[in-house]
Amino acid sequence: MNVAGSGGRVQPARPGDPSRVGPYRIVGRLGSGGMGVVHAGLTADGVRVAVKVIHPERAEDPEFRARFRREVHLSTRVQGPCLVPLLGADTEAAQPWLATAYAPGLTLDQHLAAHGPLTGGTLYAFAAGTAQALAAVHRAGVVHRDVKPQNVILGPAGPRVLDFGIAHASDGTSVTRTGIMTGTPGWISPEHYRHGTAGAEGDMFAWGALVAHAATGRLPFGGGAPDAVAFRVMSGDPDLAGIPEPLREILEKALAKDPSERLPAVAAGEACARLLALQATQILGGDGGQGSTRVGEPVVAEWDLPALDDPAWRTPSWSARTRIAAAVLVAAAMVGGVAGATLAFPAGDDGNAPGRTNVAKSSPGGLATSTATSAAAPANAPTTAGPVDGADGAGDAPADPRSAVVPSDPLAGVAGPAFTRAGDVTEPTPDEWRASTLAATSEEKGAATAIQDRMRAVLATKDMDFMTPTVTFDKRAQTVMVTGGPISQIPEDHQEVFRRAADVAACTALAYRLKDHPTTWPYGRFVISWKNFDGDLEPQVLGFGEATDGCYSVIAGQWQGDESGIATAAIPSSDKAEIRVADAADKAVTTAWNARIAQGDGLEPFAAGDAIDLGFDPVEKAAYVWARDTDGVLLGRAQRSNFQDAVSRTLCPRLTAEYDSNRNWTYTRWSVAVYEGNSRVPELIGSGECSH
């Protein structure tokens, strides 16, 4: 598992993820693997770090914990160029962790897939930098043992060699399992295949294959079955066609079948550095390398890759989150065997056209727009904004506001709209936030009121309505700013609910106005920010998006639940009606499932009597049911389909009955998820809407 970075892309945190690990504040995920989860973290002064936290089940294995202690110990010994330094660790914690400096960039395999082979000075810089990194590893008396494309990041200042997860001391000290081959097929030396020997020479064989792969984009020993690859490694010649001759000669020595004939890392690094220096003098029209060689940082000097688009670490914008949720759900459908499509996507969506979703507007009586500058307002916002006036009529609700439909493409067919930044993914800047002011026109006041009312109604159901938002406007940027904070010691899951509520509230309000007044309403973008202290002039950006591409999690025209929704649903409700319905529905679902088990059909009871839970997400007006399946009761496709069917058939009548009798009730959507084993990551197996 790669601990240093993930292409610069921070994924949202998932239910159960920590808010802090050691001294680091966790702001999202960078990836996960068999060992654990790599979190995006920040030091107290804002330095980015990658924090690897070991899975609980792994941490309970004494042998694995011993290997992890060794990994940390070895990592402290390794310092040098093109390596990622270890910053901290706790090997004795309930869930052991280690933290490294964050290395943004694509891994070599990701870069090759997206951009093709490395060439020129960049190729020589890659070869020199990775060889120098291995030289530092070997000087420390350590063998890496897993040199491969996934363990090299192409950062903005050169390559970085990562992950000593299976490294061991070159003196033979090791706690690996007897008889288990370590390494990755295609990146394993001939002697390792034959005898299990894994020394520094084996690292250099893998380095030769790595550089050849970087230069050509081809696997030097081909692909296919592991046994076939192993045969070619032990007896075949590598594919080095097309590699510049001077570099090819170095790689041929590194890829020698006899380990005693291979170049050591120090010699390989020096040879590649000479090629790099020659490349630099040729480009500069120098004197054959005698006087024009760049000194001090040759790898950085010749590294010619564009800086990665790595904006501030934050929760992705609404549109990005929607794409992530869609990918997660599609993957769940493919991997988890989601069945019962008629349940997940019921026929009839109350007349909504494809791409639109029924939206339940907040109930009347919400918070009125404040006329005073709150602590969250930009510094230059006026102290008064006049009386609240929503007389523009945009977004007026029908007789039953729950039947309102939010336009998913409000500017479709409009010639000359006032909002001209549709599709612009450029993030709003702190200067634009500082330039924004409280609502001045009646139209702006109406929009601010709609956003605040909806947010207040949503947050109140989780007893979070103390997080009063401030809404400001920057006409030049065509952006509405929704700002929260400062609130000391606020849990991060509360802040996430604020973000989600602000996203949907702002998107909904702007979509109505773009639809009703397309040639005069200029605001189509929104940004969600959080002030960390009074006077904060560069608040934390929680998310941003626009109201021209839909406001809800929709796939193929149908609403779908997501991990953010289930995380919000897991927060206890403070709304009496929600508590009453949740309690009754939870018991009814459990009873219905037990009744099906009693009928046979190969169904088994959950290990715990309280394995089924139910909660409400007020942001997207959905009920979530999830089961903690520690014994694998729902591993099969048929079992999951059966559980989903039991949930929807039991839950929908109760949601519909409440909807018909309580005009303030807006929950008609449902989603079902499973937590397998001890996993803290839910697998969503179905979503839908109840007829009403």
Q: Which pair of tokens denotes residue 588?
A: 């009814």
The sign of the dihedral angle between the CA atoms of 433, 434, 440, 446 is positive
Q: Which of 329, 294, 253 is nearest to 564 (CA)?
A: 329
Identity at 514, one-letter amino acid code? L
Tokens of 35: 């060992």
Contacts of 87 (CB under 8 A, 6+ apart): 49, 99, 100, 101
Taking CA atoms, 321 is separated from 158, 318, 327, 543, 690, in Å, by 30, 5, 10, 9, 25
Q: Based on the residue annotation, tell me whether 146 is a catalytic residue of this protein.
A: yes
Q: Which residue has the tokens 């929709």?
A: 554
Strand partners, 107: 153
- Residue 25: which H helix or E strand, with range? strand 24-32
Name the 3-class secondary structure at 101. strand
Q: How far is CA 171 from the centre of its chain?
A: 40
What DSSP state is assigned to residue 150?
A: G
Q: How many Cβ atoms from other residues are within 10 Å of residue 85's Cβ?
A: 14
Question: What is the identity of the amino acid at 658?
Answer: E
Torsion of CA 222, 224, 227, 229, to 10 degrees: 10
Q: Which two tokens stand for residue 270?
A: 């020096």
In the structure encoding, which two tokens stand for residue 308, read together?
């990665």
Q: Specify whether the CB–CB gap between 17 and 177 falls below 8 A.
A: no
Packing angle between helix 265-284 and helix 200-216, nearest 10 degrees?
Answer: 30
Show Cβ contacts of residue 160 under 8 Å, excluding neighbours closer than 6 positions. Answer: 4, 82, 83, 84, 103, 105, 133, 152, 153
Residue 141 to residues 137, 267, 463, Cα–Cα distance (Å): 7, 17, 57
* Catalytic, out of 17, 45, 90, 146: 146
- State which H helix or E strand residue 319 sits in: helix 318-335
How is residue 352 written in tokens?
Answer: 């909504």
Assess contact for 65 and 32: CB atoms under 8 A.
no
Q: H or E element: which one contains 673?
A: strand 669-676
301 half-sphere exposure, CB direction, 13 A CA radius: 16
Residue holding tokens 């937590």?
675
**What three-state secondary structure class fits 149?**
helix
Query: Look-up: residue for tokens 């459990």?
Result: 590
385: nearest Cα among 433, 423, 438, 426: 438
**Pair type for strands 479-484 and 470-474:** antiparallel
Cis peptide bond upstream of 159, omega within 30:
no
The token pair at 37 is 């989860």
β-bridge mates for residue 617, sequence order: 622
Q: At 641, phi and psi to the nearest 5?
A: -60, -40
Bond before 486 cis per omega within 30 degrees? yes
The token pair that represents 531 in the structure block: 């002030």
Phi (first) and psi of residue 520, to 5 degrees: -125, -25
Q: Where are the alpha helices (DSSP H) in 436-537?
A: 442-460, 492-516
SS3 110: helix
Q: Which residues have a catalytic role annotated?
A: 146
